Amino acid sequence: DSGVTQTPKHLITATGQRVTLRCSPRSGDLSVYWYQQSLDQGLQFLIQYYNGEERAKGNILERFSAQQFPDLHSELNLSSLELGDSALYFCASSVNVPDTQYFGPGTRLTVL
Amino acid sequence: GQQVMQIPQYQHVQEGEDFTTYCNSSTTLSNIQWYKQRPGGHPVFLIQLVKSGEVKKQKRLTFQFGEAKKNSSLHITATQTTDVGTYFCAGPHRGGSNYKLTFGKGTLLTVNP
């Protein structure tokens, strides 16, 4: 158990819908990262927050957005979902940047 | 942009054989990290290498960081079925004033008992 929690574990939805994925970092970690993992793309970095502020952006689509709240939990919002958005979404946290990252169990998103 | 390349993409071995995965960065790294993801699981941090030419061992796993700090390798001696999984290397890359960790695509290791 890494200490990072993610909810929900599984999410099945339809194209065009919007979903919110939630992540609580390890106690004491200020930095949160979001990754997308699909079979053919490996781990794709989406976005990083540090103590509530966006710090780095990767290949995140405009339909996706995220935020980190004052209590340090983070949410990843995915809208206008497409079939290709089906993937595992991982959240990771670290104390600082660029520290060792501790990954949550992931949310498996299936878009039908 | 900065890239981290890993080879091979897949490796199948017989239990007891050795295994090596290689990682190459397009730029010099301040450190390199290795993660393991078991099937159905999430990436788990294994080790971080910081110094040029550094070698670290964890039981049957040996990690090396190249002299130029642009490549690294993970060697497993006498593989066991518990070694099955995808091994990722990752290096911090700077974008402006911020760092992000760039992961290689990983090497999937399968072990035949």
- For residue B108, the chain A residue with the least C-alpha distance is A42
CA distance B79 to chain A (A): 24
Count the alpha carbons within 13 Å of A55 in the hemisphere toward its beta carbon. Answer: 22
CA distance B88 to chain A (A): 9
Residue A47, token pair as written in the block: 């976005």
In percent, how much of chain B has pLDDT > 70? 95
Count the Cβ atoms, other than its own, within 10 Å of residue A84. Answer: 10
pLDDT computed for residue B98 by the predictor: 65
Instruction: Decide if A102 touches B, using CB distance below 8 A.
Output: yes
Of A4, A105, A32, residue with least CA distance to B42: A105
- Examine residue B113 and say whether the peptide bond preceding it is cis (omega within 30 degrees of 0): no
Q: What is the mean pLDDT of chain A?
A: 93
Q: How far is CA A48 from CA A53, A62, A94, B19, B53, in A?
A: 8, 15, 11, 33, 30
Instruction: Decide if B104 touches A, using CB distance below 8 A.
Output: yes
Question: How much is the CA Rg of chain B, to the nearest whole Å?
Answer: 14
CA distance A42 to chain B (A): 5
In chain A, what residues touch B95 (CB-CB under 8 Å)? 56
Q: Are A64 and A19 in contact (CB under 8 A)?
A: no
pLDDT tens-digit profile of B36-64?
A: 999 999 999 999 999 999 999 999 999 99
pLDDT tens-digit profile of A63-109?
A: 999 999 999 999 999 999 999 999 999 999 998 766 789 999 999 99
pLDDT at B95 over 70: no
Q: Could you give the CA distance from residue B47 to residue B45 in angstroms, rounded to a whole number?
A: 6
